[in-house]
A and B are shown apart, each in its own frame.
Chain A
């Protein structure tokens, strides 16, 4: 019996990734990480900055995402995100640039608690990659 389902990651510019031999995906959902296996109940959730881990028959991949929405339905997982980077070929310089921008944003005075939480998260994740 196969335990695989299909995964599609899209960003505004293009369809980033399509795989149909995924066994498990771990996503950084807003209220904590979710691991999704086959036949998971239909779910919609959104992501905070973090790492998506994709386990498939062809290996394991990790991606950094800034934000996003996931939808799982009929063994199709769609992830919509505005910024996604593959950790394998990631550019250290670009990472530090993002980190710097985030830190600057954090210093703005009119920031809401939720935004602050998200930005903190982002910095933490970025640090852990670097």
Chain B
């Protein structure tokens, strides 16, 4: 059994760990509220954008000449995966869940004999992927410096993606991120952004007759790059809310575990203290008896 001194030291170290995790939980909770708010505020923009594009794409008559961003290159050989993770750890299964989802997709792609290219956003994703897929990672982006998620950063990622598309470096682009449902649940998502999937609500707008100024094609070719940035921005917002939520519940668990551990150690400490006292008493009494 550990000595009394050792137990004492352990108790105090667990207690200070508990203090840290508690503080981290508080910080995450405060950040979560802000992140959640901005995720909710950002939704109308991306929803509206999606709507407009759906309306536009259903109005386009000449599918073959539609912009490539909408219809794709016509091939399905090279897949670009944008894996969006956090820059910091200690947030439970947040990063691992995204990576797991992404790895499943990677395997599928590779088994089909297609070429896989990866862009990682956030340092943690890079750390987890670099061992297995270091040859596939073509770029890594991190926004450690920016405090809040902002559109400017998302635009940067979007522009990188579009530039690569225009250079014909890939045919299909998929982004991976965590969708924020609530503090306990975050759902890892894969979303294809190039070519755009429009199957969802195609029927609702077919009868509307829009006037376009300028021509549909021109609007579309201006709009689609913006939409990509918007979708990435949405993913970043969802991701940051998820990260804070995940961290909050992870830290809450850690605090509770530390509390349990302190209780257990305290009982052990008291037991061994009593044992030592009893032992001493027995020694004294048996010593007195032998006289």
A residues sitting closer than 8 Å to B (CB atoms) are: 8, 10-15, 29-31, 34, 41-46, 69, 71, 73, 78, 80, 82
Contact = CB atoms under 8 A, between A and B. Distances in A.
B41 A13 contact: yes
A71 B151 contact: no
B55 interface: yes
22 contacts: A10-B44, A12-B154, A13-B42, A13-B150, A13-B151, A15-B45, A31-B213, A34-B213, A41-B211, A42-B208, A42-B210, A44-B55, A44-B210, A45-B212, A46-B219, A46-B222, A71-B55, A78-B48, A80-B45, A80-B49, A80-B52, A82-B226
B147 to A, nearest CB: 14
Contacts of B42: 12-14
A38 B48 CA distance: 21
A27 to B, nearest CB: 11
Contact of B52 (A30, A41, A71): A71
Nearest to B208: A42
Q: Which 10 pairs show the lowest CB-CB distances between chains A and B?
A: A14-B41, A12-B151, A43-B211, A45-B213, A10-B45, A42-B210, A10-B44, A15-B44, A12-B45, A44-B210
A10 B56 contact: no
Contacts of A14: 38, 41-42
Contact of A42 (B46, B51, B209): B209
B106 interface: no
Chain B interface, >50% SS class: helix
Interface of B: 38, 41-42, 44-46, 48-49, 51-52, 55-56, 150-151, 154-155, 208-214, 219, 222-223, 226, 230, 233
Nearest to A14: B41
Judged by DSSP, the binding face of A is strand
A87 to B, nearest CB: 21
A42 to B, nearest CB: 5
Contacts of B44: 8, 10, 15
A104 B133 CA distance: 40
A29 B213 contact: yes
B52 A69 contact: yes
A30 B38 contact: no
A14 B42 CA distance: 5
A60 B101 CA distance: 51
Nearest to B213: A45
Contacts of B41: 13-15
A9 to B, nearest CB: 10
